[in-house]
Amino acid sequence: MKISARNQLKGSVVSITRGAVNADVLIKIDGGAEIVSQITTDSVDRLSLAIGKSCYAIIKASSIMVGTQD
Q: Rounded CA gap, 54 and 20, in Å?
A: 25
Q: Rounded CA gap, 34 and 27, in Å?
A: 6
**What are the boundaries of each domain within the chain?**
7-56
| Residue ranges of the chain whose pLDDT lies below 50 | none
Q: Does domain 7-56 have CATH number 2.40.50.100?
A: yes
Indicate the residue type of 3. Answer: I
Residues 6+ apart with CB under 8 A from 4: 60
Taking residue 23's Cβ as centre, other Cβ atoms within 10 Å add up to 20
Cβ atoms of 11 and 27 within 8 Å: the answer is yes
pTM metric for this prediction: 0.83
Instruction: Indicate the average pLDDT of the chain.
Output: 92
